[in-house]
Amino acid sequence: KNQVEQSPQSLIILEGKNCTLQCNYTVSPFSNLRWYKQDTGRGPVSLTIMTFSENTKSNGRYTATLDADTKQSSLHITASQLSDSASYICVVSDSWGKFQFGAGTQVVVTP
Amino acid sequence: KAGVTQTPRYLIKTRGQQVTLSCSPISGHRSVSWYQQTPGQGLQFLFEYFSETQRNKGNFPGRFSGRQFSNSRSEMNVSTLELGDSALYLCASSFGGPTASSYEQYFGPGTRLTVT
């Protein structure tokens, strides 16, 4: 069973609207959680990295939250733009440096 | 500063052949990790090299191997190719530290391997 589950699998939003992506994990012992954005045909690009003690981290219009007690994270995209169309991948690493990847959420922003 | 480079970008091979992919990390980075990405399985960790030593390994058969040179450049080799090996192969570099997850990882553009 995958130790990192993302939802929804895909979503379509109108340009200018907000959206929230979810990531639930069971990885233990937890080290950090990362959100990546991957454009089609390109390598993933890091958006945020959060450790156990961090609850919120922002990168421009992207805001990630982490609840280490419930093992949940979310990525909020504010005022979406067409360039936000991409796959968003949640990655959790354990204390030994091994990464577990979520399947990703495919976001499509329409004009 | 130049980013992570991977060569070749595209490759077509036939079943049974072998292939070698190359990754040049960002200058100063000592850790290189390799990943396989397919539509069905998503991103999967292959292995990580740090200072020429394999430090971590994913759950892939022995046909998948790698190495790292003294200049931190890394190669990945897949022998006896199977149709299921068709994928985007990504490498990522970081400073390293105690584990691969200690620092930010920077991904290359990937090598698209097609096995026919």
Residue A92 has pLDDT above 70, yes or no: yes
Most B-contacting residue of A99, A100, A101, A105 (CB-CB within 10 A), to test interface: A99
Inter-chain touch A43–B48, beta carbons under 8 Å: no
pLDDT at residue B41, rounded to an integer: 82
Whole-angstrom distance, CA of residue A40 vs CA of residue A87: 8
**pLDDT 10s digits, B25-53:** 999 999 999 999 998 888 999 999 999 99
Report the amino acid identity of residue A33: L
Distance in Å, alpha carbon of A21 to nearest chain B alpha carbon? 17
Helix, strand, coil abundance in chain B, percent, nearest 5: 5, 50, 45
Tens of pLDDT, residues A16-55: 999 999 999 999 999 999 999 999 888 999 999 999 888 9
The nearest alpha carbon in chain A to B4 belongs to A43
As a whole number of Å, the CA-based R_g of chain A is 13
For B109, which residue in chain A has the nearest alpha carbon? A43
